Structure 1
């Protein structure tokens, strides 16, 4: 069993400034639609769109194996399109939890470092999905192709933040070749 660890720290002000400068496009560059919903402050508004609050969850992820397929992600995105359209039309920086967004950035960077490749051609931001369990604990899933290519056995993440910085750690165990 091979074990690798990655860590990242980011100032929340960097994320806030990037959102202020580039708007929703910045979020769309590195967050999956489901992650944008997790960072959205007004959960009651989201539930009004869909009375089945399960649809707001990460049901497209196989939480037992921690991977997702492109087909299931596309289906989820299609089902949630009305919500995404409204979020785009009414975008304001105040509608989002900046510390959560910064945490997602740090987690994705930490994961890429644990994999030893960084974010780039081999692993994109959208190949990594952060979701939360019923207790609010964050978990990480990879796109099925990446998960299988890296022969991942288990992924564990943790993050912490104060008003200025977010730190994230990712530990990955790999299956033997």
Structure 2
């Protein structure tokens, strides 16, 4: 299952400027907020969670919320979905790639059940 999402970094930046940390708490858990150093990072996490939900075939909604999906980073900074997230959705393996360029963040996700 494959999911892809792209988001304007300025959209996330405007949301953060308007609502502050409340905006981040809408789509990031506490550990993710600690990893988020900029609007660019936050936009990448947003795109990754949207891409994950699309790969599931549900989109963000009642079956899969932003806060149901948790992202961490390994020692080299590579993002990955936590075991908790994979177990919740019965996913055996997940691959995640996030990139930023030209004012956009994009994420691609591959899930194997």
TM-score bracket for the superposition, by shorter chain length = over 0.9
Distance of aligned partners of 1:143 and 1:121 in 2 relative to their CA distance in 1, 3 Å threshold: farther
Contact 1:131–1:139 (Cα < 8 Å) also in 2: yes
In structure 2, what is the Cα distance between the partners aligned to 1:143 and 1:136? 19
Of 32, 35, 38, which residue of structure 2 is paired with 1:35? 32
Task: Give TM-score scaled by structure 2 length.
Answer: 0.93
Kindly state the Cα deviation for residue 23 of structure 1 after the two structures are TM-superposed: 1.3
Do 1:127 and 1:142's aligned partners in 2 also have CA atoms closer than 8 Å? no
Match of 1:155 among 91, 94, 105: 94
1:136 counterpart = 2:82: no
Gaps of 5+ in 2: none
Counterparts of residues 94-113 of structure 1 (less than 5 Å) = 97-113=38-54
Residue 136 of structure 1 and its aligned partner are, at CA, apart by: 0.7
Q: TM-score, normalised by structure 1?
A: 0.60
Give the equivalent residue in structure 2 for 1:118.
59
Aligned-partner Cα distance in 2 for 1:106–1:32? 15
Instruction: Tell me the C-alpha RMSD between the 2 structures.
Output: 1.5
What's the CA shift for 1:162?
A: 1.5
Mapped to 1, the partners of 2:83 and 2:106 lie a distance apart of 20
CA offsets per residue over residues 15-44 of structure 1, 9 Å max, x none? 00111111111101110100100013xxxx
Determine helix, strand or coil for the equivalent of 1:118. Answer: coil
Which residue of structure 2 aligns with residue 22 of structure 1? 19
Query: Cα deviations across residues 83-114 of structure 1 (Å, max 9, x unaligned)?
Result: xxxxxxxxxxxxxx111000000000000000
Find runs of 4+ consecutive structure 1 residues off by over 3 angstroms.
none
User: Of the two, which has the highest radius of gyration?
Assistant: 1
